[in-house]
Amino acid sequence: MIAVKGARRGLRRNCEVRPPECFFAYAPRGVGLLAAVAYLDADRDVYGWFAGPRADGRVLGCYFLLEGYHSPGPVVYEAVEAQDLYGGWSLEESRRHELSRLEEAIAREWLFARDDPQAEGERRSYAEAELALGALGVRFERLRRFSTDQPVWTYFSPGFQRSVLRQLAKRWPLDFRPQFEESA
């Protein structure tokens, strides 16, 4: 389950939450939001959060660790569902707290739950624009930041490393599989 709070406060640059790198994929004539990814770099690792629909249609949110991502040698992937953030996985506790704050900030700034009573304006905007809306949606005003020249609209934050998305998409349980150019 993905909890998305209605109140919006911007992502702040402070010592509590470093600005994350973000990616969103949206199918305006399909199922709506396909994937949301936010991550942080730390020395040799990358860790973050992703959400989106699985093949069975259920929306899934997971925290992940790409251990050794910035090191020579193999990358170790580890992921837990959102409710297991503080459960049995190897990510240190301070990073777990950071991920919890990261998810809250991204959800508040970028996403909303379709069934949230406070999301009536978002649902109305999607209906008026005749755009797809799944169980989890991108805030309508944020869609203008997306690249819309392909059937799947995308947004990459300026420092987002596409290779992080490649590593995740090979392993994640989401239905979305990004298409990469051979030379990329």
CA atoms of 137 and 66, how far apart (whole Å): 26
| Per-residue tens of pLDDT for the chain, all 184 residues | 444 444 334 444 334 446 899 999 999 999 999 999 999 998 899 999 999 999 998 999 999 999 999 999 999 999 999 999 998 888 999 999 999 999 999 999 999 999 999 999 999 999 999 999 999 999 999 999 999 999 999 999 999 999 999 999 999 999 999 987 654 4
Q: pTM of the full predicted structure?
A: 0.88
Closest by Cα among 114, 115, 111 to 102: 111
Q: What are the backbone dihedrals phi and psi of residue 76, each rounded to the nearest 5 degrees, phi first?
A: -100, 125
Contact by Cβ (8 Å): 21, 159:
yes
